[in-house]
């Protein structure tokens, strides 16, 4: 499943569509909730911090693998980006309650596998949620 | 406490009437930061916030939050209410602060 994300007003809509599609496949409610949170954070990051990106979801028998990729501008300092409370979100996003500097940290904490690579050409975030 | 009982509290107004009203909420979580709610709120809770835009419904749905109480007189737009109905999430509004709202909820529940 590949979904293009760029719509700020509808952050969360893509997550809910995916979650609804997977609710009959993923039997563990806690896994589905963790997946939902990680997808929401990924969707928000793509909409706020990039010029638009793609969420790619692959369903395996024991896990769900997600790749969120974009075309830039990239994360200058990944270590800082993973520090709780650090955020480069613009003021408009903070006014809406985004930009608390917890998004990537939430994904890392809730996922069973996590990787983040970024250059000025784009960012690729990968995470997995175990479903068994 | 049942969600529907919130509509009996003076100053609370129910906006997105749906079948979630009969559900119970076991805890209350207060925050305006969406990622903090995503991280810390318990599923099935009542979420109190001053945010009123459509993204709050997405957060509530992802976390399986039963109801949202929007405080300080902020009002959600029609799209937000429609989305809440679609996702079966109850929305209440009040002119009161989060602190005053919680006091009334505790009082209604017999905890104060």
Which CATH number fits the domain that encloses residue A47?
A: 3.30.565.10
Taken in order A107, A109, A113, A118, the sign of the CA dihedral is positive
Q: What is the pTM of this model?
A: 0.92
For the segment A57-61, the average pLDDT, to the nearest whole number, is 95
- In this structure, are strands B13-14 and B28-30 parallel, antiparallel, or unpaired? unpaired
Average pLDDT, chain B: 93
Which pLDDT score is estimated for A3? 64
Taking only the tens place, the pLDDT of each residue in B31-60 is 999 999 999 999 999 999 999 999 999 999
State the residue range of the domain holding B11: 3-108
What CATH number corresponds to the domain at position B43? 3.40.1390.20
- pLDDT for residue A116 is more than 70: yes
Which pLDDT score is estimated for B97? 98
- pLDDT for residue A51 is more than 90: no
The total number of structural domains that make up chain A: 1
- pLDDT for residue A94 is more than 60: yes
DSSP string, B51-88: --STHHHHHHHHTT--EEEE-TT----HHHHHHHHHTT
User: Which range (A1-5, A99-103, B50-54) has the least confidence?
Assistant: A1-5
Task: Say whether residue B82 is in contact with chain A using an 8 A CB cutoff.
Answer: no
Pairs of residues, one from chain A and one from chain B, whose beta carbons lie less than 8 Å apart:
71
Task: Say whether residue A108 is in contact with chain B using an 8 A CB cutoff.
Answer: no
Q: Chain A closest CA to B49's CA: distance in Å?
A: 10
What distance in Å separates the CA atoms of residue A81 and residue A103, rounded to the nearest whole number?
9
The total number of structural domains that make up chain B: 1
Residues 4-63 on B with a CB inside 8 Å of A are: 32-36, 38-39, 43, 49, 51, 53-59, 61-63
State the residue range of the domain holding A71: 2-130
> What SS3 state is found at B95?
coil
> What SS3 state is found at A9?
coil
- pLDDT for residue A4 is more than 90: no
Report the alpha-carbon angle B93-B98-B104, nearest 5: 80
Per CB-CB distance under 8 Å, the chain B contacts of A10 are: 54
CB contact under 8 A, B63 and A33: yes
For the segment A93-102, the average pLDDT, to the nearest whole number, is 94
For the segment B77-103, the average pLDDT, to the nearest whole number, is 95
pLDDT band at residue A52 using 50, 70 and 90 as cut-offs = confident
Tokens of A8: 């700020």
Q: Chain B closest CA to A39's CA: distance in Å?
A: 9
Residues 51-70 on A with a CB inside 8 Å of B are: none
């Amino acid at each position: 499943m590949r979904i293009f994300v760029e719509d700020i007003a509808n952050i969360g809509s893509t997550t809910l569509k995916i979650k609804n599609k997977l609710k009959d496949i993923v039997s563990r409610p806690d896994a589905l909730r963790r997946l939902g949170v990680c997808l929401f954070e990924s969707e928000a990051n793509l909409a706020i911090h990039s010029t638009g990106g793609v969420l790619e979801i692959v369903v395996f028998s024991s896990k769900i693998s997600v790749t969120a990729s974009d075309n830039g501008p990239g994360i200058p300092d990944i270590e800082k980006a993973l520090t709780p409370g650090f955020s480069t979100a613009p003021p408009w996003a903070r006014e809406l309650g985004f930009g608390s500097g917890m998004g990537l940290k939430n994904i890392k904490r809730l996922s069973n596998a996590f990787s983040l690579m970024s250059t000025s050409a784009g960012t690729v975030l990968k995470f997995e949620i175990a479903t068994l | 406490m049942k969600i529907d009982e919130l509509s009996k509290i003076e100053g609370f107004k129910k906006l997105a009437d749906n079948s979630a009203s009969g559900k119970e909420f076991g805890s209350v979580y207060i925050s305006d930061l969406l990622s903090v709610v995503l991280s810390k709120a318990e599923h099935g809770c009542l979420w109190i916030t001053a945010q009123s835009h459509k993204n709050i419904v997405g957060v509530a749905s992802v976390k399986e939050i039963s109801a949202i109480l929007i405080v300080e007189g902020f009002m959600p737009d029609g799209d937000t209410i429609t989305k809440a109905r679609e996702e079966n999430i109850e929305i209440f509004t009040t002119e009161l602060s989060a602190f005053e709202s919680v006091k009334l909820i505790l009082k209604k529940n017999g905890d104060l």
